[in-house]
Amino acid sequence: GELGVTYTAASSTFSARLFVSKVRNLITWSETIPGSYIYTPMNIDRASMAGLTLGYEGQWGPVKVAAFVDHLDPRNATEGSANHDKLLPRRARNQARLSADVDLGAWSVGAGLQARSHRYDDAANTRRLAGYAVADLNAQWQFQRDWSLGARLNNLFDRQYETAWGYNQPGRELHVTLRYSPR
């Protein structure tokens, strides 16, 4: 179930969403042999996820901003299980996303920040994955009616982090795009 409210005034929108999900036979990943980094699918008979999302989106002149904060309580709800009431694997309890984009006519520039709290890689909650924050930058130049050149710098500060144990995420990356979009 989900209950939400949205309020819009002028060029700003505020939102709040409260949700609860009950899941049967949730498939997740489990390490076959501890320390092996070999994972197989694992079934969690019953899981529950409850949370709250708060959001803001607005525009001030040429600047668009967005901010979202999520709080999640993802639990193993299987009665009698050794992992009953433990947090579900690889699900952060808290996360936030911020972004700002500026439209300057032929040019647009933007920045984003994404942060997640710690989470666990295993159903027993013994292998903790650290929280992280990652910043990104982007720019685009519309140099012809149908042509644009874009650049995106991901993980600006070269943050080292894992979303699964033993699998580092990419460091700083630069992507350049030449796009043709006929109108």
What's the pLDDT band for 40 if we cut at 50, 70, 90? confident
Would you state the pLDDT for residue 34?
67
Residue 151 has pLDDT above 90, yes or no: yes
Would you state the pLDDT for residue 35?
66
Which of 24, 6, 2, 26 shows the shortest CA–CA distance to 15?
Answer: 6
pLDDT tens figures, 103-112: 999 999 999 9
Q: Which residues contact 66 (CB under 8 A, 6 or more apart)?
A: 55, 56, 57, 58, 97, 98, 99, 100
pLDDT tens figures, 52-100: 999 999 999 999 999 999 999 999 999 998 899 999 999 999 999 999 9
